[in-house]
Amino acid sequence: MSLINKLVPLGIPLAWLNLVKEKKRFFAAVAGIIFAVTMMLYQMGLKTAMFTQVVFPHLMLNGDIVIVNPQYEYFGISRGFTEKRLNQAFALPEVEDVAPLYLVNLPIKNPDTLVNRDIFIIGFDPANKPFDDPAIEAQQGMLKIPGNALFDERSHAKFGPIVERLEDGTVTTETNGRATEIVGSFEMGTTFAADGNLLVGKQTFFEIFPGQDPNLAAVGLIMLKEGSDAEKVAETLRAKLPHDVKIMTRAEFIDNEKRYWGERTPIGFVISASMTVAIIVGAVIVYQILYTDVTDHLEEYATLKSIGFKDSYFISLILQESIILSVFGFIPGAALTAGLYYVTRRVAYMPTEFQWDNAGIVLGLTIVMCMLAGALATRKLRHANPADIF
């Protein structure tokens, strides 16, 4: 018995033979599906990366409850609120500590090119612990010295070789025209609002940004005692504090950021639209290929139909071809997408990673897309009269 007979004891499926008979047509169909798979999987990866990227700072914060201005939109733009509200919140017995954050985008000078580029600056009191990050906690004591700063290692390369120079000591530069000594580094990551991040002490923040009111905080963090219910404490604060602040739990704060970038900016729409286009293009290509296949074999199918084969047999045959095309298009499409993810990480600094759950969704969409196209392609055959064909 030959190897083929051992592997396929019932013979090579007719669906496969039909597809590979016209190799150019087969590869054209597979190429179309590869395009659709790559587009869908890449867009899903971008969306996942986007929602991961925009909350990099939030995930590093140490607060259980967050206070912001009622007109707060996203992390990076805020009108601020009076720090008196944090002091009032500190009076609750469930509150362990509070920490105000001061946020601004200001130019920092590239130490090599001397070109100024805007960087996102987070100011805080080094006596507090607003970040749940060992690297920041270990170095934040140095921020008590005016002019000192910590630089985000994952910032864009346009800020210069600051990280490399830190290996030989501190790096001297200027932030908003004021002398700045970068004494250490940490890892946070870029967002859509920031190509880089800089941490400074409260005193340094108001030295490099003298126009800001020192009594206004952009974000207020509230750390609760162990065992406290964040939802209940947040409700208590909403009832006790004036309406000149907005109270959110940590989860609500993160969801607010994702919702802003997903719904109130064109990014979410563009990604969804791209996926829709990919599905339509892939479906049209598969439909054209399968419809042509049905037309080319119409006389053979009519012969089978005339001797008793039912429409369900032909539908099953075309659906088998659809599944074969789905698999042959998905595998190289997924591999190509993994390569695009790597390029995106290197060039755009986005956390694009291949995720199997996204791959499963795209595989399912691909199979459904191909099967729908195949079902439509059989309409001519199902409504054909064998006598008319001959």
pLDDT at 135 over 80: yes
Q: Beta-strand (E) ranges in the chain?
A: 65-68, 81-82, 95-109, 116-124, 148-152, 171-175, 178-186, 197-201, 216-217, 219-224, 246-249
pLDDT at 238 over 60: yes
Inter-residue contact 15 to 22 (CB < 8 Å): no
Please tell me whether residues 46 and 78 are part of one structural domain: no
Q: For residues 78 and 125, which has the higher predicted lDDT (pLDDT)?
A: 125
Number of domains the chain contains: 2
Please tell me whether residues 40 and 79 are part of one structural domain: no
Mean pLDDT score across all residues of the chain: 86
Please give the pLDDT value at position 208: 95
pLDDT at 248 over 80: yes
- Report d(CA 258, CA 270) in Å as an integer: 15
pLDDT at 200 over 90: yes
Angle between helices 356-377 and 266-296 (to 10 degrees): 40
For the stretch 154-183, pLDDT in tens is 998 899 999 999 988 999 999 999 999 999
Please tell me whether residues 157 and 33 are part of one structural domain: no
Does residue 159 lie in a domain region? yes
Domain limit, last residue, from 213, 244, 275? 244
For the stretch 17-56, pLDDT in tens is 777 777 888 888 888 888 888 888 888 888 888 888 889 8
Predicted confidence band at 206 (pLDDT cuts at 50, 70, 90)?
A: very high
Please tell me whether residues 22 and 117 are part of one structural domain: no
DSSP-based three-state secondary structure for 181: strand
- What is the separation of C-alpha 330 from the centre of its chain, rounded to a whole number of angstroms? 21
Predicted confidence band at 385 (pLDDT cuts at 50, 70, 90)?
A: low
Please tell me whether residues 144 and 276 are part of one structural domain: no
Please tell me whether residues 210 and 353 are part of one structural domain: no
Q: What are phi and psi of 226, to 5 degrees?
A: -60, 135
Share of the chain above pLDDT 70, in %: 94
Does residue 200 lie in a domain region? yes
Q: For residues 296 and 38, which has the higher predicted lDDT (pLDDT)?
A: 38
Which of 88-92, 108-112, 116-120, 320-324 has the least mean pLDDT? Answer: 320-324
Does residue 61 lie in a domain region? no
Please tell me whether residues 120 and 234 are part of one structural domain: yes
Q: What's the pTM value of the predicted model, to 2 decimals?
A: 0.76
Please tell me whether residues 166 and 293 are part of one structural domain: no
Please tell me whether residues 76 and 220 are part of one structural domain: yes
Does residue 255 lie in a domain region? no
Domain limit, last residue, from 211, 244, 277? 244
Please give the pLDDT value at position 384: 60
Does residue 372 lie in a domain region? yes
Predicted confidence band at 2 (pLDDT cuts at 50, 70, 90)?
A: very low
Please tell me whether residues 85 and 113 are part of one structural domain: yes
The stretches of 177-265 forming alpha helices (DSSP H) are 202-208, 230-240, 250-263
Does residue 359 lie in a domain region? yes
For the stretch 306-336, pLDDT in tens is 777 787 787 788 788 888 888 898 999 999 9
Nearest 10 degrees: CA dihedral of 58, 61, 62, 65?
Answer: -40
pLDDT at 125 over 90: yes
For the stretch 345-371, pLDDT in tens is 888 777 888 888 888 988 888 888 888
Predicted confidence band at 382 (pLDDT cuts at 50, 70, 90)?
A: low
Does residue 225 lie in a domain region? yes
Domain limit, last residue, from 244, 275, 300? 244
Please tell me whether residues 201 and 324 are part of one structural domain: no
Domain extent at residue 19? 3-53+266-389
Does residue 126 lie in a domain region? yes
- Report d(CA 31, CA 333) in Å as an integer: 9
Please tell me whether residues 175 and 229 are part of one structural domain: yes
In the block, tokens 């290929």 appear at 289
Please give the pLDDT value at position 361: 86
